[in-house]
Amino acid sequence: MIVPSTGLAFSALLRNKMRSALTMLGIIIGVGAVVMMQSMGGGATAYVSEAISGLGSNMLFVIPGTQRGMGQLTTGVPLFTMGDLDAIRHLARDVALVTPAGSRVERVVYGGRNRSSAVGGVGPEYFEIRSWGVTSGRLYTQEDERQGGSVCLIGQTIVDDIFLSRSPLGKDLRVRDKTCRVIGVLESKGAAVGTDQDDTVFMPYSTFTRRLVGSDRTATILAAAVSTDRIDEAKEEMIEILRRRRHIAPGDDDNFSVRDPRDIQAVLQSVMGMLTTLLAGVAAVSLVVGGIGIMNIMLVSVTERTREIGVRLAIGARSRDILTQFLVEATTLSAVGGGIGIVFGLVGAWAVARGLHVPFVIPGISMPVAFAVSVLVGIAFGVWPARKAARLHPLEALRFE
Amino acid sequence: MGSSTSDTLSRGRDPALLSLRGVTKVYGQGGAAVRALDGVDLDIGTGEFVAITGASGSGKSTTMSIIGCLDVPTGGEYRIEGLPVQDLSSDVLAALRNTRFGFVFQQFNLLARTSALENVAMPLVYAGVGSRERSVRAREALAAVGLAGREQARTNELSGGEQQRVAIARAIVNQPEIVLADEPTGNLDSRMGEEIMQLLLALNRDRGITVIMVTHDAHCAAHAQHQVVFRDGRIVDNARGVDPS
């Protein structure tokens, strides 16, 4: 009975194309949203994981304040001093590399061209921690750092835009009202979500603080453990040293945080978890609304086709044949809607992934789940109209005007 | 075909094909109750051509519905070959309508925007016949009513007479013993009506199908050997002419 019913259901739905399309809209939106968000979430996770592994798996960073819940930082806590850096450098045995890191946006000028770029002040260790090299020229050295030399490294975007793709080596780049000599061009890192990692200038931290900031206190310390499996020990040592230097009494909370990429991943996972829950709610509401739409249209259809039901009963259809027919029709509506929703969701996610330069991920498990749920919605909301049809009295249905 | 089933079902005394005894039908309840049938006794034998006439509301259509298992009596007894119908489940009634009865309606009642072939094949879907055989048998039935070559025509492309022929093809496609025709010529002009009458007579004569027809038209009724006249829910005249067989 199911097979002829499906064919029948399709022809019944094709007879009212516009109505069927509008009825399916709720399901299409619900399923489309789920598939799209799952794909985008997967893409974002893949992207961030890749970015984190690019940071180096034994990397640590220290920021003042502690995170309270989601993204809320304590304010009014002191920054770190160069003394803190030296203490970590000399006393923490499991910390291999450590550097202060500062950043601000400045106007950079060469020739007649200028742009606003991120200017970073970091020690030479920074490039070792991030395993970041140059494509031409050289990185700066501890000697440059000690002397506060007016040297800088620039990203490919600056080469292309300010130097019009000609070699910038040995040229003097103006950063705000100071100049620095370009000694190297950094390897291209590509664009991240919203930011171009190649639109950047790096100079020694001492140069940065003396010439651009005026204070050598830093809000970020970047460090690398001697190896990935010593990361927890390195963390402990840094916490102990910083607590002592910041005069935190035993039992009091830290007024700084030491984080590693696993923490970022954990935060990311909790954000993704929340998004997924939120999305499941939106999808559930949309599917229920879609289901009610299907129920409504099926009730209308049962009324419109009362005579047809009467004829079918008269020529030998049993109640359960009529029930099956309308149930299959409702389910066909929701299943086709679910299928269209999956396609729309994938296309939407693909477009967004392309636009934001993040990987496009096909959300494996959520597609069959979304499809199965839309089929279930069709059955659940189709039962009542179908029962109404199946319970019609043959004679009354035949005489219905 | 009719004789073979009565052979297998008859126990001792040969019962009539269809038999109504003291059948009453009441619609509604309490003060609003309407007594549509008030003690109807009627026997119809295999191979008869029966015309049921009477004024509107006299009970002829109600009788037809009870005979066709579309409705069950409030009181009294209706038996098909001795089998009491009121005890049967709705699924068994559906199976009886599917295999033993064919229905022809005044309004044709074909499925709109559907081909003649699909309309005719519909009872076979519920009989569980495979799609290839459905198509073969539906073509045969259409040929039998003179519509060979019109299989793919949609309902709305057919004239009234053609639509009624499709309906008759649908009624006979599952080879029933009994065809019930409720005002089959009521929506047709007299020429087309006469064609439909001849078709029904031919089914009765050539295939031995029992035809029971409700009609207003005295001219149509005159074709039948067995005339039943209703008034106020009772049979007032029940006359059998000369049986040609």
Cα(A87)–Cα(A97) distance, integer angstroms: 12
For residue B199, being part of any structural domain is answered with: no
- CA–chain centroid gap for B102, Å, is 5
Dihedral pair phi/psi, residue B44, rounded to 5°: -125, 130
Chain A residues closer than 8 Å to B90 by CB: 318-319
Chain B interface test: which of A315, A319, A395, A399 (most B C-beta within 10 Å): A315
Q: Is B2 left (phi over 0), alpha (psi -120 to 50) or beta?
A: alpha
Chain A residues closer than 8 Å to B91 by CB: 318-320
Kindly state whether residues A306 and A192 are assigned to the same domain: no
Cα(A239)–Cα(A255) distance, integer angstroms: 10
pLDDT digits 0-9 by tens, B186-198: 889 989 999 999 9
ipTM score assigned to the predicted complex: 0.89
Kindly state whether residues A275 and A368 are assigned to the same domain: yes
pLDDT digits 0-9 by tens, A342-374: 999 999 999 988 888 778 888 888 889 889 999
Chain A residues closer than 8 Å to B98 by CB: 315-317
What does each of the 245 residues of chain B score in pLDDT, given as a tens digit? 434 444 444 444 467 899 999 999 998 888 888 889 999 999 999 999 999 999 988 999 999 999 999 998 999 999 999 889 988 999 999 999 999 999 999 999 998 888 999 999 999 999 999 999 999 999 999 999 999 999 999 999 999 999 999 999 999 999 999 999 999 998 899 899 999 999 999 999 999 999 999 998 888 888 899 999 999 999 999 988 755 44
Cα(A256)–Cα(A262) distance, integer angstroms: 17
Query: Angle, to 10 degrees, between the axis of helix B190-207 and the axis of helix B160-172?
Result: 20
Last residue of a domain, one of A204, A220, A236: A220
Q: Which residue in chain A has the smallest CA separation from B176?
A: A315
Q: For residue B192, which of B171, B213, B164 has the smallest C-alpha distance?
A: B164
Section A176-181 average pLDDT: 92
Number of domains in chain B: 1
Return the pLDDT at A13: 78
Chain A interface test: which of B64, B111, B134, B182 (most A C-beta within 10 Å): B111
Domain range for A342 is: 2-50+265-399
Kind of pairing between the strands at A256-259 and A95-110? unpaired
Q: Which stretches of chain B sit within 8 Å of chain A by CB?
A: 65, 68, 70-71, 90-91, 94-95, 97-99, 102-103, 105, 109, 111, 113-114, 122-123, 125-127, 131, 170, 174
Residue of higher predicted confidence among A40 and A141:
A141
Number of domains in chain A: 2
Cα(B68)–Cα(B46) distance, integer angstroms: 15
Mean pLDDT over the full length of chain A: 87
Kindly state whether residues A206 and A276 are assigned to the same domain: no
Among the partner-chain residues B65, B95, B109, the one whose CB lies closest to the CB of A316 is B95
Among the partner-chain residues B91, B98, B113, the one whose CB lies closest to the CB of A315 is B98
Domain range for B135 is: 110-175
For residue B169, being part of any structural domain is answered with: yes
pTM higher than 0.90 for the full model? Answer: no
Kindly state whether residues A388 and A282 are assigned to the same domain: yes
Chain A residues closer than 8 Å to B180 by CB: none
Q: Do B109 and A307 touch (CB under 8 A)?
A: yes
Chains A and B: how many Cβ contacts under 8 Å? 60
For residue B138, being part of any structural domain is answered with: yes
For residue B165, being part of any structural domain is answered with: yes
